[in-house]
Structure 1
Amino acid sequence: MITEFCRLNDAIERVSKVINIQLNIERVSLLNAIGRVAAKDVTSPCDIPPYDRSVVDGYAVRAEDTYGASPSNPLPLRIVGEANFDTAFRYSIGPGEAVRIHTGVPLPKGANAVIMLEDVVEDKSTIYVMKSVGVYANVSRRGEDMPKGFTILKRGQTIEPWHVAALAAVGLDEVEVFERLRLCLLTVGDEIVEPSKNLDPVEVLSKGKVFSSTHYLLLCEAKRLGFLEPVHIGIVGDSPHQISNHIRQAIEECHSVITTGGTGPGQRDVVVKAVKEVGSEVVVRGIAMRPGRTTSVAVLKGKPIFMLSGFPVAAYIAFRFFVIPSLTKALGITESRNYVYAKLTRRVVNRAGYTTFVRVKLFNCGTEVCAEPLASTGSGLISTLLESNGILKLPDDIEGYEAGELVPIELL
């Protein structure tokens, strides 16, 4: 029986403090690093770019030789050569001189600016400058992108494509990351059936059975996070003994366990009982969140056992807004999430002391982005995830939001 529901933030804090998971470090290629978690800080070993370089095709010049130039007052400069990657450092530009240069080529000695081709007129060995340029105009300075020592990755950061590009830019082809966190999923319920093309859905559902959709939802969501390695270990009935056996095995093989189903206060909701039988300590029994308030957590050997609702939306919300934040906080992982501010089309009301997650549909309304809260809110309605593209979080210390308010929406 759940007698008191823990506030969401308190639950995350409580669980993160008792998790004790040790992840090994491994080295992976850059193309296999997306979504993984950096095991240490990585800094640039050199300046990028390694020298002042032109960012346009044109002429390397001394900026002061162009001052006062205009179409009505063209200033002549003598062309003394053409710089490329092999010859750039051989040239030294003096007063009244210019060197042809291409994009990316190092700036010759003495030059401090580049004038674009379209701003000059060339006549044999002379150019006529039609426009003045300032010092370092059209020049990318040495170290402007990443100076030596620049932090590309911080320990605990999830690696994004731009991190990979930066690592490649400084000549690295591998990076040290933490091993993926192995996550075992166990589906609980006598009524649960594995989907199969060999089964008639009408016949199966008419017998009171339910196809296991929740574990597919969680597996797919977990796979989107590159630092997790989710595994479904099966469907088990409402037998405390069978559930206990599966959890014992899963704890030995995985860093964390998730069960779906059997978390409520009814007689057939036996997961909490089974979890206690394996010697684990229940640290959270019920969370003041909607949907997903029967979400509970136990810890065994420092490894968390997350007990989620069997309803797909409730399990999804608990996984996304409780399980993942608890794990990332405990392991020091920095996870990025995408938000957009949108104008609410109607009022939404919160329950006192609860954190509520509202499914919304985002759409353009004139020059603004609007968020329409879905009318259907059932925690078992998969269709609401199909119809929504964002989640509005109502913290436990507010009564709700009014129509017309700009609110942060987490994108799905």
Structure 2
Amino acid sequence: MITSQRLPASLTPLDTALAAVLRGVAPVAPVTLPLADALHCIAAEMPPLRAHPPHDVAAADGWAMRANDLVGASFYAPLPLTEAPTWVDAGSAMPAGTDCVVDADMVDTSGPIVQVLAEVIPGQGVRRAGNEIAEGRAVTDAGRPVQPRDLLLARGAGVAALLVRRPRLRIVNLPGGEATATFIADVARSAGADVTRSEAPGRDAAAIVAALDASADLLLTIGGSGVGRNDAAVAALSARGEVIAHGIALQPGRTAALGRIGETPVIALPGAPDQAFAVWWALGLPMLDRLTDRQPRQTRALPLARKIASSVGIAEVALLMHQHASWATLALGELSLDAIARAEALLIVPGSTEGFAAGTVVDAYMLRE
């Protein structure tokens, strides 16, 4: 019979827990995905693009001419042409020997001789070769999330697929944790993971063991990591694999656990949304960033509007909002759903400090990149 586990007398420091779960974890192999599937994935090495457009093209409808031939033309002194110019549509290649496009209303074609009514400058109405995409440009830098604007660039260059890293993330949800599991799945997908979900048929350890499919690069369980009678996720992990730490010095989220099943790292998230959110940021995202070989996440350094006081020995999650060129604290340690929704940045206050004095400049992770 498998019984639930109680938290140890002392909690594992966050840095120690993170180092333990990251040990031996390497980036996943890149895969080639169609552009639509590559969105939000983390770019691998990108081949250089060819210049686009490959030659000069018309940027607008009009008459293709050579600017030096039109010097002095005006409404008061129309310039007659010895040969009729060539009409071009926007996007079409510029004829040889031309370097500008003259608007239709600047050319009089009503008489037997075509007359130009204005002079133009070289390049007017023309999109030069390489103007849209420079020769050798990459769609994006390796280690960066693929954004919609990157896909626009790829489509403009005629690229149909991208080389990206997209780790396989499996979420095992225990009954009662639907809202939290959906939230974590959504944020994991937006961070570049290929997410699959399964539901444990019950909250007892045997039911959870049966659902712990480790055929993924990272396995998450949602709920059942506490010490109540119905909290058996950690006991199930112990029966199926190895428990590295249960009880993390993190607020909220101290009942989280870490382990492995074979080579697959496992993070047991609490079922409460605020605790799962904190553990995901403190442990889940660093793991995903290692698997994707992601570049460091964006931070912003601003002074604190007010003092942040925290407990020594416990890392605490603070949610921040930009206000008057400083960080205002929305929540610390206890995170309401409203604060999670409104927050612009997140700060993990180290357990080695008692917090930060007002005016201290802190680097906070941006929640809205």
SS at match of 2:81: strand
Q: 1:318-370: CA deviations, max 9, x gaps?
A: 22443023122233245977x889997x52515257654334567xx8xx799
Q: Indicate which of 199, 218, 221 corresponds to 1:256.
A: 218
CA distance in 1, matches of 2:250, 2:82: 73
SS at match of 1:110: coil
1:184–1:7: structure 2 CA closer, same or farther, 3 Å change rule?
closer
2:85 and 2:309 map into 1 onto residues whose CA distance is: 70
> Which residue among 293, 296, 304 is the counterpart of 2:265?
304
Q: Distance in 1 between matches of 2:133 and 2:22?
A: 35
Q: Is the 8 A contact 1:20 1:303 kept in 2?
A: no
Sequence identity percentage: 18
What is the aligned counterpart of 1:16 among 10, 18, 22?
A: 22
1:112 equivalent in structure 2 = 99
**Residues 186 and 234, structure 1, Cα contact 8 Å, conserved in 2:** yes
CA contact (8 A) 1:113 1:137 kept: yes
Q: Does 1:347 align with 2:306?
A: yes
The superposition leaves residues 236-270 of structure 1 with CA deviations (integer Å, 9 ceiling, x where unpaired) of 4354x554x246x422x333221234545789865
From 89, 92, 102, the equivalent of 1:102 is 89
Deviation digits for residues 161-204 of structure 1 (CA, Å, limit 9, x no counterpart): 333333333334344555651313243xxxxx54xxxxxxxxxx
Distance in 2 between the 1:176 and 1:405 partners? Answer: 35
SS of residue matched to 1:80? coil
SS in 2 for 1:250: coil
Pick closer, same or farther for the CA change 1:326–1:48 going to 2, 3 Å: same
- 1:48 is displaced (CA, Å) by 1.1
Query: 5+ residue gaps in structure 2?
Result: 1-7
Check the 8 A contact 2:70/2:116 in 1, yes or no: no
Q: AA paired with 1:258?
A: L
> What is the Cα deviation at residue 276 of structure 1?
3.6
State the secondary structure of the residue aligned to 1:318. helix
Label 1:238 to 1:354 Cα distance change in 2 as closer, same or farther (>3 A). same
Note the C-alpha offset of 1:305: 0.6
- Separation in 2 of the partners of 1:400 and 1:409? 21
Structure 2 counterpart of 1:411, one-letter code: R
What residue in structure 2 maps to residue 200 of structure 1? none
> Could you tell me how far apart the structure 1 residues matched to 2:222 and 2:243 are?
18
User: What TM-score does the superposition give when structure 2 sets the normalisation length?
Assistant: 0.73
Letter in 2 for 1:378: E
Secondary structure class of the residue paired with 1:411: coil
What residue in structure 2 maps to residue 49 of structure 1? 53
CA distance in 2, matches of 1:376, 1:152: 39
SS of the residue corresponding to residue 278 of structure 2 reads: helix
Other structure's SS at 2:318 match: strand
Residue 117 to residue 303, structure 1, CA distance change in 2 (3 Å): same
Which of 31, 39, 62 lines up with 2:66 in the alignment? Answer: 62
Instruction: For 2:43 and 2:59, locate their aligned partners in 1 and report how far apart those are by CA, in whole Å.
Output: 33
**Where does residue 378 of structure 1 map in the other structure?**
334
Of 35, 40, 44, the residue aligned with 2:40 is: 35
CA change 1:377–1:301 in 2 (3 A) is closer
Does 2:230 correspond to 1:230?
no
Preserved CA contact (<8 Å) 2:58 2:101:
yes
> CA separation in 2, counterparts of 1:157 and 1:409?
15
Q: Is the 8 A contact 2:318 2:332 kept in 1?
A: no
**1:316 match:** 277
What does residue 393 of structure 1 align with? Answer: 347
Match of 1:219 among 161, 169, 185: 185
Matches of 1:155 and 1:407 in 2, distance apart? 23
Residue 81 of structure 1: how far off its partner (Å): 3.6
- Which one of 13, 16, 21 corresponds to residue 6 of structure 1? 13
Distance 1:121 1:173 in 2: 41
Map of 1:359-374 to 2, 5 A cutoff?
A: 359=319, 373-374=329-330
CA contact (8 A) 1:5 1:288 kept: yes
Q: Is 2:257–2:267's contact at 8 Å kept on the other side of the alignment?
A: yes
Cα 1:296/1:67, change in 2 over 3 Å: farther
CA–CA distance in 2 between the matches of 1:330 and 1:140?
41
Residue in structure 2 matched with residue 295 of structure 1 by the alignment: 256
Letter in 2 for 1:250: D
Structure 1: gaps of 5 or more residues: 84-99, 188-192, 195-210
The aligned length equals: 356
In structure 2, the partner of 1:332 is 293
Q: Secondary structure at the residue paired with 1:152? A: coil
**Normalised by the size of structure 1, how large is the TM-score?**
0.67
CA–CA separation in structure 1 for the residues paired with 2:51 and 2:73? 34
